[in-house]
Amino acid sequence: MTSKIDSIIEDFELLDNWDDRYRYLIELGRALPPFPEEQRSDQFKVQGCASQVWLVSEPAGGADDLRLAFHGDSDAHIVRGLVAILLAFYSDRTAREILAADPGAVFARIGLKDHLTPQRSNGLRSMVERIRADARAALEGAAA
């Protein structure tokens, strides 16, 4: 069975030019489920992004198998696509897997690392750090 992130990587590798890859990135963002309006608050807003980005984590399970599901949104089309890639990469992993995972390899493999503006790259790092912070907080909460 192919994971969501593996399917996304395969799709990116089929696209030869960056116009098509950006269109695909935008399509990924459009395919995200609707984001609840009440969650478009400062509590869920990612700091350090030029665009508005919201991420929500939902922990499930016990301390030994604590998994996190994420959902999110952005007001910018390309950034929303980046959110979709991060959600495919991180959702439904254990908190420990999230802390050990390196999305940089995925972004390098699909070429996004070299084709993002510095502003978007900074925002992407902020989103990753937020996801990792949520995983650390979930682990601390489960240990308490």
Residues of the chain with pLDDT under 50: 1
Nearest to 87 by CA among 24, 7, 142, 5: 5
Active site residue 54: no
pTM, entire model? 0.92
- CATH for 10: 3.90.1010.10
Catalytic annotation, pick one of 8, 46, 49, 85: 49
Query: Which pLDDT belongs to residue 1?
Result: 46
Other CB atoms within 10 A of residue 100 CB: 11
Which distant-in-sequence residues (6+ apart) come within 8 Å of 119 by Cβ? 50
Give the burial class of 106: count Cβ atoms within 10 A of its Cβ; 0-12 exposed, 13-18 middle, 19 or more buried: buried
Number of domains in the chain: 1
Range of the domain at 46: 4-143
Query: Which pLDDT belongs to residue 46?
Result: 97
